[in-house]
Amino acid sequence: MRIVEVKQGVAPIRSDIANAYIDFSAMTASIVAVTVEGDAGRATGFGFNSNGRYAQPGLLAERFVPRLLSADPAALTLPDGTLNPAGGWAAMMKNEKPGGHGERSVAVGVLDMALWDAAAKLEGKPLWRLLADRYRGGTADEAAWVYAAGGYYYPGKGIDGLLEEMKRYLGLGYSTVKMKIGGSPGVPLKDALPEDLRRIEAVLDLLDGDGSRLAVDVNGRFGLHAALAYAAALEPFGLRWYEEPLDPVDYATHATLAEHYAPPIATGENLFSMVDCRNLIRHGGLRPDRDILQFDPALSYGLVEYLRTLAMLEAHGWSPRRCVPHGGHQFALNIAVGLGLGGNESYPEVFAPFGGFADDVPVVDGRVRMPDAPGIGFEAKSALYAVFKDLAG
């Protein structure tokens, strides 16, 4: 196997939405096309970075694309002749010191996604099937549990607008929804809490009062005091989960919160390496019988690293079913089905064209089946494929 060509570009995914920490008016994503050639022929794999981190054209151009292009063909090839993305990963990470993962994990993750897309295309199978065959004795799930993430703050959007949005998600076949809490950027927390309780109660009414169908997301805004104040107010609702209540790398405060809040806590979308995830597991006080881990393989060095994270979790007594990746993209959906995760996020209305799944795959009772198209399935999502086709030329 050898890398023939790598192309990269930057695509806008800006929108007017905001969570409690950032607005998305200047958000971008890196896109790549990686062409690989082997005895079985040639395939072009595509990759992009998940929302929430910006495009990384500089890191890609200066370090990771040249290193991938010079990867040793022997290292890129498994004994059975198939593509070994881990060989490309090792080439990209040559001369990178440990720690300080910063944004390089995003750049490497974009290329890693393309390598897995190419690997599956070269074998003529969908990525979920390749993963089940390589790592799970051939067993894949029939469908993945997905939930509709939205409920953003938006200029002029009131409770009516929030309810209309949630009704649209239920109409699309989702049974569980997620909304932002913690206030728009700049709103004092003392004003945010009563308003958020009104928003949550309104959405719960729509869900027949069933708290297990509603998750809330703080996007890391709170310190411990605010996280505990919200926890006390939220606990009676029995919500599906309370997401990123605290700074994602402040593990000790998570442990304190977990001592005081019995329902599930979710976090991890802003941890970008296996070692960071292990620190959360070691020191975050999270509970393997209920809490949710949202590490996003597209932002955290890709699937090669995510496999290490899953192995680490197993060693610490955590099931892969506790993992529900952030990002709402087809890459994580393939991983969820192929490796038996707990499900995947979904963004029905934001982050187009990168969010969302194949065009002809409906959500039924909150679950989605996978198409049989080779690779990750970008070709079955026309708006996204148009972007990649432009890049590949």
Binding site for Mg ion (CB under 5 A): 217
Residue 157 falls in the annotated catalytic set: no
Cα 246 from chain centroid? 18
- State the CB neighbour count (10 A cutoff) for residue 238: 15
At what angle are helices 127-135 and 330-339 packed, to 10 degrees?
A: 30
Query: Residues 101, 180, 254, 381: which is the catalytic one?
Result: 180
Amino acid letter, residue 111: L
Q: Which is nearer to Mg ion, 127 or 149 (CB)?
A: 149
CB 179 within 8 A of CB 217: yes
Q: Which is nearer to Mg ion, 44 or 219 (CB)?
A: 219
Does 125 show up as a binding residue in the annotation? no
Q: CA 33 to CA 39: how far, in whole Å? A: 20
The four Cα atoms 191, 207, 149, 359 give a dihedral, to 10 degrees, of -150
Q: Tell me which residue of 200, 156, 202 sits closest to 178, measured CA to CA.
A: 200
Minimum CB distance to Mg ion, residue 335 (Å): 18
Q: Which is nearer to Mg ion, 20 or 313 (CB)?
A: 20
Residue 326 falls in the annotated catalytic set: yes
Does 334 show up as a binding residue in the annotation? no
Does 94 show up as a binding residue in the annotation? no
Query: Residues 101, 326, 329, 381: which is the catalytic one?
Result: 326
Q: Is 87 exposed, middle or buried (0-12, 13-18, 19+ CB in 10 A)?
A: buried
Minimum CB distance to Mg ion, residue 204 (Å): 20
Minimum CB distance to Mg ion, residue 170 (Å): 20
| Residue 14 zone, left/alpha/beta (φ > 0; ψ -120 to 50; rest) | beta
Does 19 show up as a binding residue in the annotation? yes
Q: Which is nearer to Mg ion, 266 or 387 (CB)?
A: 266
Does 305 show up as a binding residue in the annotation? no
Minimum CB distance to Mg ion, residue 184 (Å): 16
Annotated binding site: 19, 51, 97, 152, 178, 217, 243, 269, 326
Give the active site residues.
180, 326
Annotated binding site for Mg(2+): 217, 243, 269
Annotated binding site for substrate: 19, 51, 97, 152, 178, 243, 269, 326
